[in-house]
Structure 1
Amino acid sequence: MSDRDKLPIEIAFLVLYGIDRAILRRAAASAEDTDVSADRALLAEGATSAQHFYELLAHHLGVAYMHKPLPISGDQHLDNAMRVEMVRLSPNPQGLDYVLAPRGAGLALVLGRLAQGRWRDHERMAITSPQRLAALIRLHHRRAIVTAASHGLPDWNETLSARAGWSGHQRLSASILGCAMMVGTWFWPEATLAALCLLFSLLFLAMVYVRLLATMWSFGTISDPRPRRPDNSLPIYTIVVPLYREARVVPDLVAALRRLDYPAARLDIKMVVETSDRDTIDALQIEHLPDRFEILIAPAGVPQTKPRALNVALQFTRGSFLVVYDAEDRPQPDQLRKAVDRFERSGDDLACVQARLAIDNSADSWITRVFTLEYAALFDVINPGLARLGLPIALGGTSNHFRVNALCRVNGWDAWNVTEDIDLGIRLARFGYLVDVLQSSTLEEAPYRLKAWLGQRCRWQKGWMVTLQTHSRNPARLFADLGLAGGSAIFAILCGTIVSSLLGPVFVAGVLLQATFGPLLSPHTSADWAWTFLSALLIVSGIASVVLPIAVGIKRRRLFDTAIYVAMLPPYLLLLSYATWQALFEMMGRPHVWTKTEHGLAKNRVRPT
């Protein structure tokens, strides 16, 4: 029996076209190990390109290969475009009736009929690759794709989307509050000022004690590593990487994704690129990506945001689980395996696990060093503590792993929110889902230039404001969804973060003035004593809520050489206040505008080993 006869029928015909038998045997062995078809294993490993494979298949079957898009009939559904293997064509100059992209069992069936002499090509058909066929279907349905990506969530439930802006009740409440403040300031200025100070102090203290409580609850045992799962038991995993003006980092990104310890044939990697971003598209094509990668060009539409791109990809995902990575990310190679293990040891109510983000260009500037400390506090201390408390988590914009069915149930991301991650974490909680943290890290690049940092932080702060606006439209419903503890924690985190960023410098300046020229350090009246006590409480607890999580994060990340940069927190927080005021003004006029952060500019990124 010849080598060709021993090979799976899906790839055996390639021997006739000079493909090395050793390559085909390796693909057959990989297919058996991972329980996929031999053609998928061959193409996923990049042994040959999909275009070359299907060109040879077309030649072998004696039919044409479709290089360019052709019009398809109107009865082709958009659902599961990557699973479709044949579509009917509309009348076209080539006179073709069908285009076929067979895979797995379908490919074996076609080749089996050819071997038995039962293949008939009397129906005028062409062969193409699955990627080209899916792109053809998407082109035919581009209007529906754009509508679903931009308006799927608000059309389903407008109150859960930032598209709606301020509700009538919110406008009325803001008007009444504004009038009350004006009247109070005019007639009772001291009492009004005292009431406002008390209100803002309570919001700040609520955030402070949520952070301190999360820090205390972040201490716990780490689960023991479990035995490595066999490759054939792993589910298909979709990786979505939204890209915009990222040509500079494409080689490093592709290298990082290639390092992932997961069977290639069970990966579904979507590189989502905007139609106008020719440089990034060209950079991806230069990489000659294997079949597990798909360049998914998002049709033009508004708003042009990262969550809209994610929603485009969600419509074509093949995996049971999905993770979002940014262009500059370097996830630990075993992260997907850990996520699968975490999901499958939990109930279906666990919708998302957030990997821990860390900065790998800390040495670039003092800003990146403080940024590193900030990330260590948030992802290694605060988020794990909130998860252990069962409270909603403000997700990071990357390395969040989802159950696809849960993600679809809450209608994906809000295309109109510039911090789609925070919003989605809250929305999942409102639908009864849990979010947890994952004992795995992803390295990221932090902006080291002040202008870039301010632009990024302005977008983040604006997103917090937009998220607060969205989820406060109906406070009673929010508390009904999340319970008293969850609703209170969300309001404390959102309101406290915004208020402290806006008014923190004002408070510090007021304390200094009162200490220098007022009775703060030598109180006489009851009002003086109350102000002194409140100021001391705010200062001590505020410092503790910032420094303690950072101290724990330093220990857990072993960032001892960076610890001295805690001294740079005052100017860092002052810059944060400036970015927050800028975000407030943007919120009024440009709430949905996305400020792009440039990547690939770092000077001292730590190279992965």
Structure 2
Amino acid sequence: MPTANLRLVQTDARSSPQATTSVIPRRRTRKPLGQILVEMGAVSPENLAMAVSLQAREDARFGDILLTQGWVREADLYAGLALQYRCQIADLQREPPDVRLIDQLGAAFCIRNGIVPWKSVGGATVIICSRPDEFRTLSRTFPAEWGRCFLAVAPEGDIQAALIAMRHRSLALHAETRVSDSESCRGWQAGTVARFAAALVICLCAIFVVSSFAGFLTLVIWAVLTLLLNSALKGIAAIQYWRRGAPTPLNPQQSAPKHGFLKLPTVSILVPLYKEREIAGRLVKRLARLSYPKELLDVCLVVEEDDTLTQETLAQANLPRWMRQIVVPRGVVKTKPRAMNFALDFCRGSVIGVYDAEDAPDPDQIHKVVRRFAQRGAEVACLQGKLDFYNARTNWLSRCFTVEYATWWRIVLPGVERAGFAIPLGGTTLFFRRDALEELGRWDAHNVTEDADLGIRLARHGYRTELIDTVTEEEANCRVWPWIKQRSRWIKGYAMTYGVHMRQPRKLLHDLGWWKFLGFQILFLGSLSQFLLAPILWTFWAFPLGLPHPLRGVMPSELLILLGTVFMATELLTITVGIQAVSNDKLRWLRFWVPTLHFYYPLASLAAMKGFTEIMTKPFYWDKTQHGKFDEPDAEGIIPPPMNPA
């Protein structure tokens, strides 16, 4: 667009201190956008009335309502905005913006606000804006040397594409360094960790050389101690579950929110995808079942630049208006948190959600999330939904995985919440207040369990996470080697999260307090110790089987009886809690499979060995889990599960 064609209109000098530098017509002289579109024949009067009615109760932009409902074409909408603000529509493909001007504001700032400084002409600067009603406010942040600023309009997608093309490298680098150095694992020194591990192994070997009894007893004491702590946490959680019973569903007509939204907010949902040919089409159908108003949904499908497979799949999926693809430029690391850090700047919502590629959330899930945030103060910065599997019947591994998930999400994690411990988040069905997420620096791009790390950082900064009674179903990983790869990544991330936050134990204690600090040790150090030392405890099966054992003939019989009692009690507790976790109508058939968990958990010890090895060799490597192999194509077509394991 030639700059000479820009229409300049003087502002009211009394309305803004920037009126002399920001050329925009006075608000009272502008005709309403809806009236302009009706006069253009772009919108019918009936659709205009419905859009106005929706805007009265929803925190959605008028243009987004029209576009999402299919009541106006994008070209007509921006033609109407150009008429309303007496400016021109810019063509960014024909005339790219001046990168020097972009750098003065920052590409991330421009993306968040839907603007791009275009060019300087004769001591003035042309600013392209996708939301011209915000131009007057934004002009207060413009550098003084820009002089008088003229307005042009362009679709937000065109502005974002131009900014990525001009500044993709700086945006990608910024996405990797959002979290402060003191709370990030990007400074992780694999060599230092390897030397520490070697020193620890040498010390243990020295103890065994001096006395094999002393060495083995040391490992046994630590293994039994962590076993007791984890079992106590599980037992207390189970008792609380039995006393309180299943949570009562929240009635939508219950009392008004204490801190309620004046209008329903826009909710942005990040869905990171990588090489997802099988799952992408089903994902669109599953998210389309969400009952939240589509004009308030902003689903961002986050795809890596080199992932042409997923990009081609999405190109054939005919995405609805409320669902869009965001391509993440190449960077130093390729992880899910880095991709989400990059994509967050493109989100429109004040509430940010995270789903995985294979997720099938409850249709009313977003309504429940918005209602809970409205009922809580700003200190509740995160809501965590429950997870379940839709392919539990695939094989034995999927059945055991489902029992484990049910135990964690339905009994143990609610117990952790009621105990007042910091909650290590799961990787999906997470919802955040955007302001709090931005304050914490978003996700640690180098942590392969960014969710658990973020849960601890939320607690350290004084925020709370609450569980919410809504379920998202996903695909159980039910092949042995992929299961081990996935679990090894979780264990590696847990270990790195523990190492990062324990760099300064006193500061962590100060941030969390004694009680949450203790919970952190149980949940992280205790769990990691159990994964590694479980084989030590398994050796005690040698006693009832009459096999040789290092402690046979050395350890007093009374102590052996005590240890045997402890082991049997913890096994019975695991079985009892597992049966309780699958006691609902949907999962009751799995109770017959709970005792077989005894043969399932050894896989986690194999995964721990792989994970701890990678901590010293490739700490930031993201071992991708492939989805869609055992997916349920249609929820309505699912056959009810059998009532017995036959």
Query: Same fold per TM (> 0.5)?
Result: yes
CA distance in 2, matches of 1:605, 1:487: 44
**SS in structure 2 opposite 1:463?**
helix
What pairs with 1:171-182 in structure 2 (closer than 5 Å)? 177-182=200-205
1:257 matched to 2:281: no
Q: Aligned-pair distance for 1:85?
A: 5.2
- 2:330 counterpart residue number: 300
Aligned counterpart in structure 1 of residue 602 of structure 2, from 571, 574, 577? 574
CA pair 125-482 structure 1, distance change in 2 beyond 3 A: closer
Contact kept? 2:233, 2:412, Cα under 8 Å: no
d(CA) in 2 for partners of 1:351 and 1:152? 18
Aligned to 2:559: 530
CA distance in 1, matches of 2:310, 2:35: 33
* Partner Cα distance (1:168, 1:593) in 2: 16
Q: C-alpha distance in 2, partners of 1:8/1:438?
A: 41
| Alpha-carbon separation, structure 2, partners of 1:170 and 1:504 | 22
Distance 2:303 2:275 in 1: 9
1:192 aligns with 2:221: no
1:48-107, Cα deviation, whole Å (9 max, x unpaired) = 553674478779977564446713342332354355455332489xxx974634447479
Instruction: Look up the match of 1:440.
Output: 470
Q: Residue 325 of structure 1: CA displacement?
A: 0.7
Contact 1:268 1:319 in 2 (8 A): yes
Are residues 606 and 356 of structure 1, via their aligned partners in 2, closer, same or farther at CA, if it must alter by over 3 Å?
farther
**Residue in structure 2 matched with residue 27 of structure 1 by the alignment:** 51
- Report what 2:617 is aligned to: 589
Question: Secondary structure of the equivalent of 1:584?
Answer: helix
Moved over 6 A (4+): 55-62, 123-126, 167-173, 228-232, 522-526
Residue 42, structure 1, aligned to residue 59, structure 2: no
Q: How big is each residue's C-alpha offset from its partner over 1:499-552, in whole Å with a ceiling of 9 and x where there is no partner?
A: 2223323421x21222333699x99876332133123313422x1442233222
| 1:162 corresponding residue in structure 2 | 185
Partner residue, 2:349: 319
Distance in structure 2 (CA, Å) of the matches to 1:102 and 1:484: 50
State which of 344, 357, 360 in structure 1 corresponds to 2:374: 344
Equivalences, count: 580
Query: CA contact under 8 A between 1:307 and 1:415: conserved in structure 2?
Result: yes
Q: How does 1:367-382 map to 2 (within 5 A)?
A: 367-382=397-412
Find the aligned partners of 1:514 and 1:80 in 2 and give their Cα distance.
66
> Which sections of structure 1, spanning at least 5 residues, go unmatched?
1-6, 109-122
Structure 2 CA distance for aligned equivalents of residues 11 and 598 of structure 1:
50
Structure 1 residues 245 and 366, CA gap change in structure 2 (3 angstroms): same
Select which of 270, 273, 279 maps to 1:243: 273
Cα 1:22/1:593, change in 2 over 3 Å: same
Please state how far the C-alpha of 1:567 moved relative to its aligned partner.
3.4
Distance 1:17 1:477 in 2: 64
The match for 1:216 among 239, 257, 269 is 239
SS of 1:146's partner is helix
**Other-structure match for 1:503:** 533
Query: Which whole-Å CA distance do the structure 2 matches of 1:391 and 1:571 have between them?
Result: 30
* TM-score between the two structures when normalised by the length of structure 1: 0.85
The answer as to 2:589 corresponding to 1:564 is: no
Sequence identity of aligned pairs in percent?
A: 29
2:393 corresponds to which residue? 363
C-alpha separation in 1, matches of 2:134 and 2:518: 54
Q: Which amino acid aligns with 2:624?
A: K
Contact 2:132/2:153 (<8 A) preserved: no
Aligned to 2:98, what secondary structure does the other structure show? coil
Structure 1 residue 401 corresponds to structure 2 residue 424 = no
- Whole-Å Cα distance in 1 between the matches of residues 253 and 579 of structure 2? 33
Q: For structure 1, which segment, 131-140 or 326-335, has the greater mean C-alpha deviation from structure 2 after superposition?
A: 131-140
Looking at structure 1, the residues matched to 90 and 439 of structure 2 have their Cα atoms a distance apart, in angstroms, of: 41
Equivalents in 1 of 2:597, 2:94: separation in Å?
Answer: 57
Contact 2:475 2:631 in 1 (8 A): no
Please give the alpha-carbon distance, in whole angstroms, between the structure 2 residues aligned to 1:180 and 1:62: 74
State whether residues 190 and 619 of structure 2, in contact with CA within 8 Å, keep that contact through their aligned partners in structure 1.
Answer: no
* Match of residue 161, structure 2, among 135, 155, 161: 135
Paired residue type of 1:590: K
Question: How far apart in 2 are the matches of 1:437 and 1:124?
Answer: 48
Closer/same/farther in 2, CA of residues 518 and 351 from structure 1, 3 Å limit: same
Distance in 1, matches of 2:190 and 2:304, equals 32
CA gap 1:476/1:547 in 2 versus in 1, 3 angstroms: farther
Q: Give CA-to-partner distance per residue, 1:547-566, whole Å, 9 cap, x none.
A: 23322211246411122221
The alignment status of 1:207 with 2:230, answered yes or no, reads yes
Task: Identify if the C-alpha distance between structure 1 residues 56 and 566 changes in structure 2 by more than 3 Å, giving closer, same or farther.
Answer: same
State the distance in 2 between where 1:320 and 1:18 align: 30
Distance 1:551 1:293 in 2: 40
Q: Aligned partners of 2:490 and 2:585: how far apart in 1?
A: 24
Amino acid at match of 1:514: F
Match among 551, 572, 590 for residue 579 of structure 2: 551
Structure 1 residue 22, shift from structure 2 partner: 4.9
Tell me which of 497, 514, 517 is aligned to 1:484.
514
Structure 1 distance, partners of 2:129, 2:321, is 14
Higher helix residue share: 1
Paired letter, 2:341: N
Bigger mean CA offset, 310-319 vs 193-202: 310-319
1:145 alignment partner in structure 2: 171
Secondary structure class of the residue paired with 2:325? strand
Q: Mean Cα displacement is larger for which, 452-461 or 321-330?
A: 452-461
- C-alpha contact 1:349 1:433 (8 A) present in aligned 2: yes
Residue identity opposite 1:575 in structure 2: L
Q: Deviations over 1:208-243 (max 9, x none)?
A: 212222222335353642428899721222211111
The whole-number CA distance in structure 1 between the counterparts of 2:308 and 2:192 is 44
Partner of 1:328: 358
SS in 1 for 2:583: helix
Aligned to 1:455: 485
Query: Is the partner of 1:164 in helix, strand or coil?
Result: coil
| Distance apart, 1:436 and its partner CA | 1.3
CA contact (8 A) 2:267 2:298 kept: yes
Q: Partner residue of 1:113?
A: none
**Contact 2:219–2:533 (Cα < 8 Å) also in 1:** no
Q: Contact conserved, 1:43 with 1:290, CA < 8 A, in 2?
A: no
Distance (Å, rounded) in 2 between the aligned partners of 1:450 and 1:10: 58
In structure 2, which of residues 428, 432, 457 is the aligned counterpart of residue 427 of structure 1?
A: 457
353-362 or 280-289: bigger deviation: 280-289
The one-letter code matched in structure 2 to 1:400 is: L
Q: Which runs of 5+ in 2 are unaligned?
A: 1-30, 137-148, 638-646
SS in 2 for 1:216: helix
Contact 1:323 1:400 in 2 (8 A): yes
Partner of 1:227: 253
- Name the TM-score, length of structure 2 as normaliser: 0.81
CA distance, structure 2, for counterparts of residue 549 and residue 169 of structure 1: 40
CA distance in 2, matches of 1:173, 1:65: 58
Q: Which residue of 2 aligns with 1:494?
A: 524
Contact persistence 2:42–2:73 (CA under 8 A): no
Report how far residue 357 of structure 1 moved.
0.6
3-state SS, counterpart of residue 364 of structure 1: coil
Task: Give a deviation string over 1:575-607, Cα, whole Å, max 9, x none.
Answer: 222222222222221111111111122254561
CA distance in 2, matches of 1:21, 1:344: 34
Deviation of 1:310 after TM superposition, in Å, equals 1.2
SS at match of 1:362: coil
Q: Report the alpha carbon displacement of residue 255 of structure 1 after superposing the two structures with TM.
A: 2.2
Matched AA of 2:375: R
Change (3 A) 1:88 1:23: same
2:23 corresponding residue in structure 1:
none
